[in-house]
Amino acid sequence: MKIAVFGTRKYDQDSLKAANRDGFVQFTFIEALLDQRTAILAADHEGICIFVNDICNAAVIEQLSALGVRFIALRCAGFNNVDLEAAAKLDILVARVPAYSPEAVAEFTVGMMMTVVRKYHKAYNRVREGNFLLDGLLGFNLHGKTIGIIGTGKIGLLTGRILAKGFNSNVIAYDPYPSPLAEEYGLKYVSELDELLKKSDVISLHCPLMDSTKYIINDDSIAKMKKGVVLINTSRGGLIDTYALIRALKTGHVLAVGLDVYERESSYFFADSSAKVIADDTFARLLSFYNVFMTGHQAFLTEEALTNIADTTLKNLHDMKETGTCACIVKAS
């Protein structure tokens, strides 16, 4: 089974090769992201394997179908970048990796929260330059603070559990589909998002990016938050209206931000852009704030997660080819 793997880095190749024990799949590793210009590279392949920033819209899917592609294996949980209706129309099966390591993302989220609140990143740079002054490094305790979790799926629940059980924070949560595990994990639901926005000292985003959640953080929702709120987003960049966030950082309404994702990250992330001028002025402005800590969509990146991603992707491809479906199929709703 020949599979074209788009947007690959060495760590993807290593884990996919290791998981392909029986040689069932013949991988072609392609560094470029999938889009209308690169789709042609899938010629002569039965399937493709893509990640979060590959573009798999209707036009790309039509091209892939014309090339004979029948399977799309996402090596991630989110599928907002795939036009599922277009795929269904052309009988292309789409599968994802629903949970490769929610622990990896939850642990990273809490680390990011600590970094932003206690200013580890500033201290690191300062100490390396021989400056041991503590001025400007004042933080606050997470113990006893109210932390709002938006979205209590796998990652939100685990993040809340670490904060409730490990830090003794008051963890409140909002999700239109509450989880029966929340209480045991120490999370308390509020019935309205507005209540969470009003009460939280720190807000962490863990809902998927959909039409209904795009820009869930905007001028209006920020205005409802406490002055001095800290925001963390390890979910998807499109959940935050970046212009609104910049306005709130400039007024000080938002005290500090930790971001592992950015709404137009695909132009920069997963590549060495250090010798490139950043043409996206909004992104450049965001990076310029002393109180914004950003990483390049790294929250998932642990050995355990890569192994799980590769194993599930191989199983998805095997099952789709042999049975015409798999346990991790995604369909248009």
Binding status of residue 148 toward ligand NAD by CB under 6 A: no
Burial letters 159-169, b for 16+ CB under 10 A, else e: bbbbbbeebeb
Binding status of residue 283 toward ligand NAD by CB under 6 A: no
Choose the catalytic residue: 297, 303, 318, 322.
297
Binding status of residue 169 toward ligand NAD by CB under 6 A: no
- Return the structure tokens found at 184: 């045991």
297 is an active site residue: yes
Binding status of residue 174 toward ligand NAD by CB under 6 A: yes
Q: Select the span of 83-91, 132-140, 231-239, 246-254 touching ligand NAD (CB under 6 A).
A: 231-239
Other Cβ atoms less than 10 A from the Cβ of 129: the count is 7
Binding status of residue 258 toward ligand NAD by CB under 6 A: no
236 is an active site residue: yes
| Total site size for ligand NAD, rule CB under 6 A | 30
Q: Of 138, 177, 180, 277, which one interacts with ligand NAD (CB under 6 A)?
A: 177
Binding status of residue 204 toward ligand NAD by CB under 6 A: no
Taking the complex as a whole, how short is the minimal distance between the CB of residue 239 and ligand NAD, in angstroms? Answer: 8
Q: Select the span of 34-42, 206-214, 265-273, 315-323 touching ligand NAD (CB under 6 A).
A: 206-214
Q: Of 34, 82, 113, 150, which one interacts with ligand NAD (CB under 6 A)?
A: 150
Radius of gyration of the chain (CA): 21
How far is 318 from 333, CA to CA, in rounded Å? 24
DSSP, collapsed to helix, strand or coil, labels residue 195 as helix
Whole-Å CA distances, 326 to 73, 91, 112, 318: 11, 15, 35, 9
- Return the structure tokens found at 248: 């709130």
How far is 160 from 171, CA to CA, in rounded Å? 6
The CB-side HSE value for 254 (13 A sphere, CA atoms) comes to: 30
How far is 171 from 203, CA to CA, in rounded Å? 10
Q: Select the span of 59-67, 162-170, 232-240, 274-282 touching ligand NAD (CB under 6 A).
A: 232-240
Q: Which residues are catalytic?
A: 236, 265, 297
Residues that bind ligand NAD (CB under 6 A): 77-78, 99, 102, 105, 150-156, 174-177, 206-209, 212-213, 234-236, 260-261, 297, 299-300
